Structure 1
Amino acid sequence: MTMTTKVLSVSVPVADQDAALKFYTEVLGCELRTDIEIWPGARLVEVAPPGSEVSLLLLPRDSEIPVATRLGTSDARAAHDAIRSSGTTLHNDDLIRMEGVPAMFSFADPDGNGLVYLEDNS
């Protein structure tokens, strides 16, 4: 199994999601891909350059959604087990499963940078 299949998205911490959205779309020419409230108070704003497979998540610094680099993996359960066995501290005891969203979990690299694995079978 190849554990990491691709980079899916990178979080950009922002002070104001509306101002950031305007900058990334109107100034930088990115397209809006997603602007939804995942749960009350947790807004996910996703933009990307046209044609790009990698997107940017514009998240408040204090967001409940992890400010992280999101990586694809072909098997989230196997990746979770491998990360755990490496001694890396996981932020989730088990996979997070939400309707309509791939299985995922979060952790940090040795420098404290946030990482999220999402099961990606594309």
Structure 2
Amino acid sequence: MSKTTRVISVSIPVSDVDAALAFYIDVLGCELVMDVEAWPGARYVEVLPPGSSVGIVLLPQDSEIPIAVRLGTTDAEEAHDRIRASGVELHNDEVLRWEGVEPMFSFEDPDGNGLVYLEDSSDQTPGE
């Protein structure tokens, strides 16, 4: 059975990505991990706080990229099937497989909090 491996990142909504990026880097001392256009019009900016392995994703409030906690899983396909079978409504009918991105899908917990599972290729699986 697939398992959750770790928290990869947490996204937060921001009104101005550039201003937020400056704050997180210049004031909080975070380092820039990624600043890319995930698809046309969808900017994905991630910073990493000093000493942390969990990134903070700065997303415009109207972003199509989900505001969510991004979790690693050992097997995205099996996790997708298991979560769907539990009755949870998934945002993706199938696991998303985009070039250069780990297999992933999104859903919400019972309280409406956004979650994204990404197949975790790291060696940071707890308990191993």
> Shorter-chain TM-score: what band?
over 0.9
Which TM-score applies when normalising by structure 2? Answer: 0.92
**Counterpart in 1 of 2:20?**
20
3-state SS of paired residue (1:115): strand
Q: Is the 8 A contact 2:68 2:115 kept in 1?
A: yes
Preserved contact between residue 2 and residue 79 of structure 2 (Cα < 8 Å): no
Whether 2:123 is the aligned partner of 1:120: answer no
Change (3 A) 1:44 1:70: same
User: 4+ runs of 1 displaced by more than 4 Å?
Assistant: none
Amino acid at match of 2:97: R
Counterpart of 2:92? Answer: 92
Greater strand percent: which structure? 1
- Between the aligned partners of 1:62 and 1:15, the Cα distance in structure 2 is 9
Identity of aligned residues (%): 69
Instruction: Give the superposition deviation at 1:39.
Output: 1.2
Q: CA deviation at 1:3?
A: 1.6
Q: Work out the CA distance in 2 between the residues paired with 1:17 and 1:111.
A: 27
Q: TM-score, normalised by structure 1?
A: 0.97
C-alpha contact (below 8 Å) 2:34/2:46 kept by paired residues: yes
Other structure's SS at 1:79 match: helix
Counting matched residue pairs gives 122
Letter in 1 for 2:4: T
Cα deviations by residue, 1:8-28 (Å, 9 ceiling, x for unpaired): 000011000000000000001
Instruction: Give 1:69's aligned amino acid.
Output: V
Structure 1 gap ranges (5+)? none
Quote how far apart the aligned CAs of 1:2 are. 4.8
Structure-1 residue corresponding to 2:53: 53
Listed one character per residue, the Cα deviations across residues 18-67 of structure 1 (whole Å, up to 9, x for unaligned) are 00000000001100110111111100000011342100000011101111
